A and B are shown apart, each in its own frame.
Chain A
């Protein structure tokens, strides 16, 4: 591989880690044709392919962002195709045809992916919670997102949101979680 290509891939990883969402656009565009060339041999439904491809790119993005993928043993394209094939097999398996996952698991993608896939597919149990965070509003929404999603330290959150220090964040976070619980209760009551 050309050194410039490697540099570009390293750069992309660091941009993802910094939360640069344009990086995901570039990866999406750069890999799509290659992914489809492989995936169309396994599945004909174009809409499902698009859907799976988007999920694969997002899973890659999320795994880099959260530090589950720190360096690449192969190119980003190979990685995403691997993730996509894994998801494709899951999709086919759910549609009751059995498949063998062994041949796509060379990069240990299954292990890397599991936590993320479980997270996003856990629809039933977290649906009320999901609706509740949408209603949360600021500053709680930002604070909890920075803590739970961005995984920032309390000191960093304090700086970003303009609070005096990390201790304030700790107590504010506690209050926000209480608010969240109250909203959930309300949604739950109204939903019945």
Chain B
């Protein structure tokens, strides 16, 4: 493809053709099949990258969706049970809750290990969508593929090797490496990695890193640091705010 065509297509994609260039583009698109194919290819490439990003953002929001409180559907109030039914149900629930609360009070403080199990789930892969039918994955894609398959030892090893490879431009590697390390019980290392990741300006999963660092500290029984991190998440809106508030009440 001639240089001139490439410039024309690039300017078209950026929406900065002047009147003369626009006419030239239309003329070529009408008369030159190669040009038309090339133009379409570039336009579709742009769409494919947009679609890829859309997929990442969608996963990110889906992981948020599970924890945001659902408001009651107003329609649900008009139902087949009368008001008195709900009054009785609410009273029964209240009595049960008080009982449960008193019972909980008598129990010793919730064990960090149990809380960890209750709250931990691996963060979804939002960096690199992995298609499983691919026979030949790049090392980069393979790392995320192992991560998704919960093969954390293998994922860790590949993330480790990728983080030493300067040609891989993926700022999220320390984050996923840290979660893999958590799963392998290398907790101190996970904390170091989370801190390193949070210190980088390009970190897109900063709150997520704080949340997972809090869980790692929880697993280690470090109450002061855990609560400090959770307090930050609870005070600022975003990822895991509701869970941080709940966990603070329990720990």
Contact = CB atoms under 8 A, between A and B. Distances in A.
Interface of A: 19-22, 24-26, 28-30, 32-33, 36-37, 40, 44, 46, 50, 54-55, 57-58, 61-62, 116, 119-120, 122, 125-126, 129-135, 137-139, 142, 144-145, 148-149, 151, 161, 170, 174, 177, 180-181
Interface in B44-65: 44-54, 57-58, 60-62, 64-65
A50 B67 CA distance: 13
Closest 5 CB pairs of A and B: A149-B49, A137-B138, A148-B46, A142-B169, A54-B61
Contact of A134 (B44, B47, B129): B129
B57 A58 contact: yes
A29 B64 CA distance: 8
Interface residues of B, number: 52
Contacts of A57: 61
Contacts of A129: 44-45, 47-48
A177 B168 CA distance: 19
Interface in B121-165: 128-131, 134, 136-138, 140-141
Given A22-B204, A129-B44, A54 B65 contact: yes
Nearest to B170: A138
B75 A22 contact: no
B27 interface: no
Given A24-B57, A25-B238, A177-B42, 14 more contacts: A20-B204, A21-B204, A22-B206, A28-B64, A46-B70, A46-B73, A54-B58, A119-B51, A126-B44, A126-B48, A130-B52, A134-B52, A144-B45, A181-B41
B64 A149 contact: no
B68 interface: yes
A50 B63 CA distance: 12
B49 A133 contact: yes
Contacts of A181: 41
Contacts of B14: 151
Contacts of A21: 57, 60, 204-205
A39 to B, nearest CB: 11
Interface of B: 1, 6, 13-14, 41-42, 44-54, 57-58, 60-62, 64-65, 68, 70-71, 73-75, 128-131, 134, 136-138, 140-141, 167-170, 204-207, 237-239, 241
Contact of A126 (B13, B47, B170, B206): B47
27 contacts: A21-B57, A21-B60, A22-B206, A22-B239, A24-B60, A25-B61, A25-B64, A29-B64, A32-B68, A37-B71, A58-B57, A62-B54, A119-B46, A120-B51, A122-B47, A125-B44, A126-B44, A126-B48, A129-B48, A130-B51, A131-B131, A135-B134, A135-B137, A138-B167, A144-B49, A149-B46, A181-B41
Nearest to B6: A174
Given A58-B57, A139-B169, A148 B49 contact: yes
A50 to B, nearest CB: 6
Given A58-B54, A135-B134, A138-B169, A29 B48 contact: no
